């Protein structure tokens, strides 16, 4: 079973996305801030990370940088989640993320992106 980590401080998004991914057959881990995300990533080595850019304690930019600078984690694909559409393509490239979604997003579209990246 493929593992997906969702890091987002909005509980509604965590609930909806987690439900959809579990229903589609993925094992799901949830983090409400960047530090929890880093801890869960280190412990569970997910196959994919859904990462909100604006979170408390450690934001998505820091989390992404830590992942991409770690030899054991850098190949885990990341889909950025953000409410701000300004310069998201530049941010995605700068952070070396594989994809991005602008909130609010269609859960079916997100699921399709997940499937494309990890099957």
pLDDT per residue as tens digits for the range 32-84: 999 999 999 999 999 999 999 999 999 999 999 999 999 999 999 999 998 87
pTM over 0.85: yes
Token pair for 96: 């070396």
- Residue 88's pLDDT band, with cuts at 50, 70 and 90, is confident
Q: What is the CATH number of domain 3-118?
A: 3.40.50.2300
Give rounded-to-5 percent helix, strand, coil for the chain: 45, 20, 35
- As a whole number of Å, the CA-based R_g of the chain is 13
Number of H helices, E strands in the chain: 5, 5
Assign 89 a pLDDT band (cuts: 50, 70, 90).
confident
CA distance 60 to 8: 9
């Amino acid at each position: 079973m493929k593992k997906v980590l969702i890091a987002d401080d909005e509980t509604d998004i965590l609930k909806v996305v987690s439900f959809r991914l579990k229903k589609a057959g993925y094992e799901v881990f949830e983090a409400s801030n960047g530090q929890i995300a880093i801890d869960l990533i280190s412990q569970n080595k997910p196959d994919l990370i859904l990462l909100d850019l604006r979170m408390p304690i450690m934001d998505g930019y820091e989390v992404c940088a830590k992942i991409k600078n770690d030899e054991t984690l850098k190949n885990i694909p990341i889909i950025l989640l953000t409410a701000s559409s300004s310069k998201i393509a530049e941010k995605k490239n700068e952070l070396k993320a594989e994809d991005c979604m602008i909130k609010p997003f269609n859960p079916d579209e997100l699921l399709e992106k997940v499937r494309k990246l990890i099957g």
